[in-house]
Amino acid sequence: MNELALDINQLNFSYGKKQVLHDLSFNIEVGQCTFLLGPNGAGKSTLFSLITRLYDQEKNSIKLSGIDIKVEPLKALAQLGVVFQQTTLDLDLSVKQNLFYHAALQGLSRKSARTAIQKQLEQLNMYERKDELVRQLNGGHRRRVEIARALMHQPKLLLLDEPTVGLDIASRESIITHVHKLSDETGLAVLWATHLMDEVLEKDKVIVIHQGRVQAEGTSSELMQITQRESLSEAFFTLTQKQGE
């Protein structure tokens, strides 16, 4: 097995008496782009909240690049970049100001931040817009800034929570292409939650969760073979309807 960017082992979580994650286990290798599919209420948001330490896990482990987030949270979270579904940019600051602010939170020097900002924005064809207010950008360009922000400190794992929702086709395709290119060329691992199955490429790993449990994982073709269905959408429907319904 290659080096693991994310290793989740028998993860459980409850809201009061209601258990929402049940012995959830999976891993993501360095350089692997993984899509997390699940219906509403499957546990995706809870899982992301646990990985980012917005919630604290009850028992068993989440490791980022081999570092247990419960034992060494700051060191572990330094391996992680996150793009949340809802934008978290300051609309009244410029692109550059938003990124410098985040760089300071990450402990980057001004010089290192300047270099990282230029690199990430150039890769996203956004450097010429660095002085524009975020409020002036459309949804697709704001998403690009958020991806640049998440990658400035060179994390090993990028967490994407439905990053293309509400974007036009061209913006969606640009982000899909960019993230896959980063994964291929830099070894960045990606965990991407989505409802849009056309974002999944054949080489990508897919994890289907339902009612807080992993139902299946593999490539699109492997899931179609497991379920004897002709598309990923049909395979997903089969996997998420077969238990408790």
For the chain, percent of residues with pLDDT exceeding 70: 96
What's the predicted TM-score (pTM) here? 0.92
Give the pLDDT of residue 244.
44
Element (H, E) at 24: strand 18-29
Q: Taking 60 as the threshold, does the pLDDT of residue 192 lie above it?
A: yes
Please report, as a single letter, which amino acid is at residue 80. Answer: L
Backbone torsion region of residue 218, taken as left when φ is above 0, otherwise alpha when ψ lies between -120 and 50, otherwise beta:
left
Give the pairing of strands 4-15 and 157-161. Answer: unpaired
- Contact between 178 and 147 under an 8 Å Cβ cutoff? The reply is yes
Q: How far apart (Å, rounded) are the C-alpha atoms in residues 80 and 94?
A: 24
Q: How far apart (Å, rounded) are the C-alpha atoms in residues 157 and 149?
A: 13
List pLDDT tens digits, range 118-143: 999 999 999 999 999 999 999 999 99
For residue 244, count other CB atoms closer than 10 A to its CB.
Answer: 7
Mean pLDDT along residues 167-194: 94
What is the pLDDT confidence band of residue 1, given thresholds at 50, 70 and 90? low
Tokens found for residue 101: 């602010």
What is the distance in angstroms between the CA of the first residue and the CA of the last residue of the chain? 36
Give the pLDDT of residue 229.
95
- Contact between 11 and 23 under an 8 Å Cβ cutoff? The reply is yes
Give the pLDDT of residue 94.
97
- Contact between 38 and 210 under an 8 Å Cβ cutoff? The reply is yes
Backbone torsion region of residue 187, taken as left when φ is above 0, otherwise alpha when ψ lies between -120 and 50, otherwise beta:
left
Give the pLDDT of residue 75.
94
Q: Taking 90 as the threshold, does the pLDDT of residue 223 lie above it?
A: yes
Q: How far apart (Å, rounded) are the C-alpha atoms in residues 98 and 141?
A: 14
Instruction: Identify the structural domains of the chain with CATH numbers, from first to last.
Output: 79-167+177-204 (3.40.50.300)
- Contact between 13 and 19 under an 8 Å Cβ cutoff? The reply is yes
